[in-house]
Amino acid sequence: MKKIQISPSILSADFSQLGNEIKRLEEGGADMIHVDVMDGHFVPNLTIGPPVIKALKKNTNMLFDVHLMISPVHKYIDAFADAGADIITIHPEATEDLDSSILKIKEFKKKVGISLNPETKLDIIRSYLDKIDLVLIMSVNPGFGGQKFMPEVLDKIKELKKIQINHNLDFDIEIDGGINFENSKIAIKAGANILVSGTTVFKSNNGDIKKNIDLLKS
């Protein structure tokens, strides 16, 4: 069984103190940093771009788990790779040619992730599962932090886990959206091994990041 990892979303961090917030995550035992990139087009919100990632990367050796919610995504892959993304996750709907986008990410020696929105069926990525490193299952509709967890996506994780075992595949299963101390347990039980959490990591227990990360893993 893969080790459970926590990828805190900096969308919930104090943006005026981002460098310090990443240090707090590092000291608190986070496994990687989750960066939500939104373009106001593919999803109804705007966040950060490559220059911010590049600046933050100078302050840490932690892996940057970069989720691109932008369309068309293909032409921006090189900018995020150059900025320091270690994992680049894209949506199948955001590229005209998923094969060539996967290949492009690999050319930069980065890990490849594919993200599925709550309504997106697993069938769309079945033929790619032996070519990628990670599947990100969204448990909210992407675009905003602080949304309520959608338990119906757990069936998708269970099915994905079954495919992984039956075909002896090695990708990570990540879940993002409304993850808290209660539903983290059922997500792990369903088969997720990387949990993205923003509000719970940064705001629970008076902002005790180490305690919150430990509770999410347990």
3-state secondary structure of 154: helix
> Quick check: bond before 72 cis, omega within 30?
yes
CATH topology of domain 5-217: TIM Barrel (3.20.20)
Q: Which residues contact 132 (CB under 8 A, 6 or more apart)?
A: 102, 112, 113, 114, 125, 171
Task: Kindly report the pTM of this predicted structure.
Answer: 0.96
**The pair of three-digit structure tokens given for residue 169, joined into one six-digit string:** 């595949």
Closest residue by Cα to residue 110 from 52, 66, 76, 176: 66
* Residues designated as active site: 36, 176
- Work out the burial of residue 52: count CB atoms within 10 Å of its CB; fewer than 13 is exposed, 13-18 middle, 19 or more buried: middle
CA 137 to chain centre: 8
What does the alpha-carbon distance between residue 206 and residue 218 come to, in Å, rounded to a whole number? 19
What does the alpha-carbon distance between residue 4 and residue 72 come to, in Å, rounded to a whole number? 32
Sequence ranges of the domains in the chain: 5-217
What does the alpha-carbon distance between residue 210 and residue 208 come to, in Å, rounded to a whole number? 6
Instruction: Encode the chain (218 residues) as per-residue pLDDT tens digits.
Output: 789 999 999 999 999 999 999 999 999 999 999 999 999 999 988 899 999 999 999 989 999 999 999 999 999 999 999 999 999 999 999 999 999 999 999 999 999 999 999 999 999 999 999 999 999 999 999 876 667 899 999 999 999 999 999 999 999 999 999 999 999 999 999 999 999 999 999 999 999 999 999 999 98
Residue pair 112/102 in contact (Cβ under 8 Å)? The answer is yes
